[in-house]
Structure 1
Amino acid sequence: MKKNINCTVSPNIAFDEQKFREFTLKKLKLTDSEEVYVRMTRRSVDARTKNIKVNTAAEVFINEEPSNPLSYDKAYKDVRDSKRAIIVGAGPGGLFAALRFLELGVKPIILERGKDVRARRRDLAAINKDNVVNPDSNYCFGEGGAGTYSDGKLYTRSKKRGDFRRILEIFVAHGADEKILVDAHPHIGTNKLPKVIAEIRESIIEAGGEIHFDSRVVDILLEKDQVKGVRTQNGFTYEGDTIILATGHSARDIFELLAEKKIEIETKPFALGVRIEHPQPLIDSIQYHGGRDRGPYLPAAAYSLVSQVRFEGKEKGVFSFCMCPGGFIVPSATAQDEIVVNGMSPSRRDSKYANSGIVVSVDHEDFKPYVKEHGVLAGMAFQRAIEHKAWLSSDKTQVAPAQRLADFVNDKVSNSLNETSYQPGLNSIDMREVLPPQVAHRLKYGFKSFGRKMKGYLTNEAQLIGIESRTSSPVRIPRDRESYQHTQIKGLFPCGEGAGYAGGIASAAMDGEKCAEKAFEQFYV
């Protein structure tokens, strides 16, 4: 017999498997003499009051074998001799497009400009220790894309785009912890995600697909308005009538290539600002209404903040982005002459720091000065100029400009900075030297608003670290709503974050699957 149970429990019960089992047996008036298997299916912390509770759901199997929690079957077709599809980019969009092609009997050929996850680590170390950025292998480029060395957050509001549960199950089938099927805000962790990505690669190769690293696409081959293949920087040509273009939000050379070939692209609004780093115990204290020791059961606390701030008569949003509890700030530049920061967390989220992007919406009005010279790439040029300015402010290294939070709000340069998780180090400056005036103004008053919402948030124990500028793509590659093909080029399927159709690992993965399905319907049936 199977029973479903929903209950609200204390954290020490919700996060202790044995205690949760004992609670469930008591709730259902069962004894250990019976064969009972308890599987938690949902867990969500409710910290709105001092009496913190956890909402849970569970399946209880009584005197019967528990069912498999995964409906997904990792049994792919052998596609060695099948028709081929070219996928540019091995981020979540590209990898999940490839897995879907395997299921549909199509041979995916992935071209990735960067390296595999193991080799990629050496290039990440070079950024942190030697301030050397490899433009093809860094925190943004390489196997798994920008998400591989991030928090591995899988939460998305875009669940209508596809089967979110299916995406989670595919990750679990490739080695992710089953807890991602349970927690309301699932994450894999930067320490575990590389192994999962490597397992996905093995699935693709074992089924007969191909993945080529160090293969940066430099040309898209066209015959009239139909794609015929791509050419890589090492001189190889890969022919095909379908291309899934899943290059990520930082592949500026691809945007430039499309513009050069007069393949239609559009300027798109995005967001820009800073990373803010607090002591994690301080955020725990604020969110959990108590002291700075959250105890052994509660997870590192997160937050989500938003405010509207007026500047020169126009209101725009200031909001937290990609909040990483118990995490680290990392250098995410893709060129030597820029500074970009991002956040990541290990699976246990046990760093002593909390960090989050705090960003301001920017749009065509902000890009105006760049339109004459850069046209449709004006947003990208605006983004690049600010990143370059930050690099110049720190003696042309990856040492990031920084300022204590209360000092920034009070227009004061910090005499000293706090300890930080950012390995290249920090340089104390007035952040208004690198931020556009409209962004700096809105950040200042946004932080004041956040300080009122979270008492203790606005403090010099926190510091701003810049620049957080890769929140999303500054370009959209237009596609037909029904066919998912580019509005101008047949066989070209713009996909994921880089094309402007996703905002994170899960949504990019769902978009990748959808692009593969649409390509199959139109070219392989």
Structure 2
Amino acid sequence: MSIIVQIAVSPQQLEDLDFILGLALKKEKLRKKEIGDWRIRKRSIDARNSPIKINLQIELWLLEELREQIPPYIPQKVHNAKKVAIIGAGPAGLYAALRAVEAGFKPVVFERGKDVRERRRDLAIINKLQKVNPESNYCFGEGGAGTYSDGKLYTRSKKRGNVLKALEWFVHFGADEDILVDAHPHIGTNKLPKIITSMREAIIKNGGEVHFNSKLTDIKINDAAIQAIQINNEKWFEFDNVILATGHSARDIYYLLHHKNIKIEAKGFAIGVRVEHQQTLINHIQYQKEYDNPYLPPASYSLVEQVDGFGVYSFCMCPGGIIAPCATEQDEVVTNGWSPSKRNNPYANSGIVVSVKPTDLPNYKKDDPFVCLDFQKYVEKRCWEAGGKTQKVPAQRMIDFVEGKISTDFPKTSYQPGIVAADLNKVLPALLAEKLKKAFVAFGKKKNGYYTNEAVLHAPESRTSSTISVPRHPITLEHVEIKGLYPCGEGAGYAGGIISAAIDGINCVDAIVRKQVSTE
């Protein structure tokens, strides 16, 4: 059994591996010749006090012990195996497909958007020409929303084994092993496409199928069980197991399920604005006297405040990042953030969002599954109108927003389509604006310098999670009313990021495996 040692070093000492090993050995009263191998198991920054420390968890193996290796991904050849349909090639869908190949099933993936290479062209058109392709954008296409929206791999999942498996598969397909070590692992939008391509190639090489430009348009149910699916309003395909992993922005899927009398439910979500500061300011706030320490990464932050009974918090904070246009229709605007792997852009951005429940909304009606979705659409369209009915977004300096003043000028923004001065108090519903104003003042008291007119609010940040849940059985993971239909990932309300979605994809295939075994 290995030995786990907790130590702390300075940022400068982090690169001195001999020093780190020596410190761990000293703490355990061991000599170097007694150690067969070692590694840094976990790494996190502690900036609460000065000097800043790097907390390390060191794993040591004695001479007679074997170091644990990353378990290999071992696929089976599934060209002629039993088929399972997977709708969506985001993290839930891709991991479901990888797990299916590993388990001996033939995954047939249908993705409405394009592959990662082709998808880039549509993203460039959104940024430069402000034209949205409703089937290929920052939300739809190979890899899902996570491909071009930062690549954070942090999850609050308590099942560490599942998290490690998901991270290890990322490493297997090309990610740096640092993601297994960092407390808040991050790949970077610039590196994710190559990794996702490798995943797809492995699926196809071993007998799976991946079809792009292939949108689910109808479902055939027989005797309360899935029978077939229709793609692109044309061809029908028979499947008795369908994993629905379409992501939180595939609104047409919710309408389809409702039309087919397949139960869906309204789900609370969070909505607000995306705030951009200069990264140097965030470094000053978080690192204080060590703000320019070259051994420290660009600083991030996490904020939360209770305002009038509503939770207001930072979401998807992107140090050294860029704000991206994430609309899926032409008559709406949506923002999100992403960072390259080096996080070396001059801006820091984060969603600051208000958590809302269906019953909080003015248009709430009992048993209306679309109450939150309708509110989300309303806010996105209001912001689109305020931005001039393009992909420019309405914006306001932070203190101007709190004081109700329209900003007369702006610092540079990373949001490429551009921003338009507006009073967000009049654009956003009062339910959101009033909570956000109080939260910004409170955040300024927690983080000296955060509340500043050099920060610019971009509206809206609205696609934080699904506004609808698709209920499923807690054990079989099948829809509560339809056998063989597996609601999966963020779009169904069972995940909140890349890793949790990936884990849910694996879990859905495992449920199919259990069902198959029980019937044999």
- 2:140 alignment counterpart: 141
- Scaled by the length of structure 2, the TM-score of the pair is 0.95
Specify the code of the residue in structure 1 equivalent to 2:287.
Y
Equivalences for residues 259-338 of structure 1 within 5 A: 259-290=258-289, 292-293=291-292, 295-310=293-308, 315-338=309-332
- Work out the CA distance in 1 between the residues paired with 2:158 and 2:205: 30
Contact preservation (8 Å) 2:37, 2:67: no
What is the CA-CA distance between 1:7 and the residue it aligns to? 1.2
What is the CA-CA distance between 1:350 and the residue it aligns to? 1.1
Deviations along 1:184-235, one digit per CA (max 9) or x if unpaired, are 1111111111111111111111110000000010001111311012111162
Specify the code of the residue in structure 2 equivalent to 1:378.
V
- Work out the CA distance in 2 between the residues paired with 1:401 and 1:64: 64
1:66–1:176 Cα change, 3 Å: farther
Contact preservation (8 Å) 1:14, 1:43: no
- Work out the CA distance in 1 between the residues paired with 2:183 and 2:443: 24
- 1:93 alignment counterpart: 92
What is the CA-CA distance between 1:3 and the residue it aligns to? 5.7
Q: How many pairs align?
A: 518
- Work out the CA distance in 1 between the residues paired with 2:69 and 2:389: 51
Contact preservation (8 Å) 1:49, 1:289: no
What is the CA-CA distance between 1:378 and the residue it aligns to? 1.9
What is the CA-CA distance between 1:145 and the residue it aligns to? 0.5
- Work out the CA distance in 2 between the residues paired with 1:435 and 1:248: 25
Equivalent residue in structure 2 for 1:454, among 407, 427, 447: 447
- 1:364 alignment counterpart: 358
- Higher deviation after alignment, 74-83 or 152-161: 152-161
- 2:198 alignment counterpart: 199
Deviations along 1:355-401, one digit per CA (max 9) or x if unpaired, are 110000122234442649x9321211111111011111111111111
- Higher deviation after alignment, 100-109 or 358-367: 358-367
- Work out the CA distance in 1 between the residues paired with 2:396 and 2:137: 26
- Work out the CA distance in 1 between the residues paired with 2:225 and 2:339: 42
- Work out the CA distance in 1 between the residues paired with 2:258 and 2:233: 22
Contact preservation (8 Å) 2:315, 2:351: yes
1:225–1:368 Cα change, 3 Å: farther
SS of the equivalent of 1:355 reads: strand
What is the CA-CA distance between 1:73 and the residue it aligns to? 1.3
Deviations along 1:418-444, one digit per CA (max 9) or x if unpaired, are 111111111111112221101000000
Share of identical aligned residues, percent?
53
- 1:53 alignment counterpart: 53
- Work out the CA distance in 2 between the residues paired with 1:195 and 1:234: 31
Equivalences for residues 117-156 of structure 1 within 5 A: 117-156=116-155
Equivalences for residues 67-86 of structure 1 within 5 A: 67=67, 69-70=69-70, 72-86=71-85
What is the CA-CA distance between 1:27 and the residue it aligns to? 7.1
- Work out the CA distance in 2 between the residues paired with 1:277 and 1:377: 31
- Work out the CA distance in 1 between the residues paired with 2:178 and 2:160: 23
Contact preservation (8 Å) 2:35, 2:60: no
* Structure 2 residue 488 is matched with structure 1 residue 488: no
Deviations along 1:124-178, one digit per CA (max 9) or x if unpaired, are 0000000010101100000110011122111111233961111110100000000
- 1:168 alignment counterpart: 167
- 2:377 alignment counterpart: 384
- Work out the CA distance in 2 between the residues paired with 1:507 and 1:449: 31
- Work out the CA distance in 1 between the residues paired with 2:196 and 2:507: 20
Gaps of 5+ in 2: none
Contact preservation (8 Å) 2:336, 2:461: yes
Specify the code of the residue in structure 2 equivalent to 1:150.
S
Contact preservation (8 Å) 2:265, 2:368: no
- Work out the CA distance in 1 between the residues paired with 2:181 and 2:230: 43
- 1:11 alignment counterpart: 11
SS of the equivalent of 1:403 reads: strand
Deviations along 1:339-358, one digit per CA (max 9) or x if unpaired, are 00001111111111111100
Equivalent residue in structure 1 for 2:339, among 336, 340, 345: 345
SS of the equivalent of 1:320 reads: strand
SS of the equivalent of 1:397 reads: coil
What is the CA-CA distance between 1:103 and the residue it aligns to? 1.6
SS of the equivalent of 1:347 reads: coil
Contact preservation (8 Å) 2:38, 2:60: yes
Contact preservation (8 Å) 2:2, 2:65: no
Q: CA RMSD in A?
A: 2.3
Specify the code of the residue in structure 2 equivalent to 1:307.
E
Contact preservation (8 Å) 1:390, 1:434: yes
1:333–1:19 Cα change, 3 Å: farther
- Work out the CA distance in 2 between the residues paired with 1:48 and 1:248: 37
- Scaled by the length of structure 1, the TM-score of the pair is 0.94
Deviations along 1:498-522, one digit per CA (max 9) or x if unpaired, are 0001100111111111111112211
Specify the code of the residue in structure 2 equivalent to 1:57.
Q
SS of the equivalent of 2:243 reads: strand
Deviations along 1:287-340, one digit per CA (max 9) or x if unpaired, are 1122642x2211111111111112xxxx11111111111111100000011000
Equivalent residue in structure 2 for 1:518, among 482, 504, 511: 511
